[in-house]
Amino acid sequence: MLRPNILLTGTPGVGKTTLGKELASRSGLKYVNVGDLAREGQLYDGYDEEYDCPILDEDRVVDELESQMSEGGVIVDYHGCDFFPERWFHIVFVLNTDNSVLYKRLETRGYNEKKLKDNIQCEIFQILYEEALASYSEEIVHRLPSNQPEDLEDNINQIMKWIEEWIKDHSS
Ligand code: DAT
């Protein structure tokens, strides 16, 4: 049976992991966290001294995911999206969180001052939404609010409906 691939993107802390895992458990689709995948496979290409983090080896990440993406039924979670092949995704969701809410979430994670500031700016300037629009067809890119538990529930219900429709339309 054919199943869709879904991309969840947005600034760190907006709730991609929370939504992705819940969606996977309710829909039976597979959840892939690209950050975890890179850590497990050491899919890195150097180290960024300024941001104090390893640099993702995007080509190796794409190679690693290619076969499961061609099969379908994968929910991908990453705070970036311009290096994934456009053909992979049937729909793209960019999660958005109000600055004050996001600030508290990132503070709880223990981010340093610079990382906090950079991520809040990333959200203010809608960097990931712009990146998604530049990388995928406009019609498949959707923004979702992700501030409170009610938003999570609404987003899950909305995406579950979309998945069911997609599967129905592609079976036969
Ligand atoms: P991300 O994967 O985008 O970095 P996350 O899923 O780890 O984000 O969520 C960051 C924190 O915010 C985490 O403590 C769970 C919380 N959270 C996520 N979505 C939420 C929502 N809709 N309402 C309230 N809290 C939420």
| Residue pLDDT, tens place only, 111-125 | 989 999 999 999 999
Q: What ipTM describes this predicted complex? A: 0.99
- Of the candidates 77, 64, 94, the residue with the CA atom closest to the CA atom of residue 21: 77
Distance 14 CA to ligand 1 centre (A): 5
Distance CA 127, CA 122 (A): 5
For 56-69, the pLDDT digits (tens) are 999 999 999 999 99
Kindly report the protein residue whose alpha carbon is nearest to atom 25 of ligand 1. Answer: 148
CB of 149 within 6 A of ligand 1: the answer is yes
43, 137 contact by CB (below 8 A): no
Q: Give the nearest ligand 1 atom to 95 CA.
A: 3
Kindly report the protein residue whose alpha carbon is nearest to atom 23 of ligand 1. Answer: 148
Kindly report the protein residue whose alpha carbon is nearest to atom 9 of ligand 1. Answer: 15
Is 108 annotated as contributing to ligand binding?
A: no
29 three-state secondary structure: coil
Per the listing, tokens 């409906």 go with: 161
Pick the CATH number of 6-170 from 3.90.105.10, 2.60.40.10, 2.170.150.20, 3.40.50.300: 3.40.50.300
Q: What is the mean pLDDT of the chain?
A: 96
CB of 13 within 6 A of ligand 1: the answer is yes
- Of the candidates 45, 146, 85, the residue with the CA atom closest to the CA atom of residue 76: 85
Distance 53 CA to ligand 1 centre (A): 21
